[in-house]
Amino acid sequence: MKRYTLQPMGGIGAALEFAWDPETGEVRGPDADYVRAVAAEGLHNGVATGYPYPTVYPITDPLRKPGELAVLLGNLWLLPGELAEAYPVPPPDNDIPGGART
């Protein structure tokens, strides 16, 4: 289980602290409930908007797929190296759910 401390975009507010195991999907720590809620919302929606805006990424299992969790958290938090590296490459226009454009 890897521990993360994410700083907020813009540097205003408290850091997001949690431990996460992408193999099991387990999340622990002070902000685990928030991370689980963000993941549940992304899963419910099935997609999330991320960089480069307004790219739409499919969300199918964010607590087991680092790239999906990176998209969900990267809108409000600065991603540490490991999560930043997992950020997905934007899909080609033809593969974007709902026909959205980048």
21-46: per-residue pLDDT in tens?
999 999 999 999 999 999 999 999 99
At residue 95, the pLDDT reads 55
Q: Is residue 57 within 8 Å of residue 71, measured between CB atoms?
A: yes
pLDDT tier at 101 (50, 70, 90 boundaries)? very low
Evaluate if pTM is beyond 0.85. yes
Is residue 4's pLDDT more than 50?
A: yes
**Token reading at 16:** 């997001």
Calculate the average pLDDT of the chain: 90
- Write down the domain spans for the chain: 2-99
At residue 49, the pLDDT reads 94
Query: Exposed (0-12), middle (13-18) or buried (19+): which is 70, by Cβ within 10 Å?
Result: buried
At residue 11, the pLDDT reads 86
At residue 97, the pLDDT reads 55
At residue 99, the pLDDT reads 47
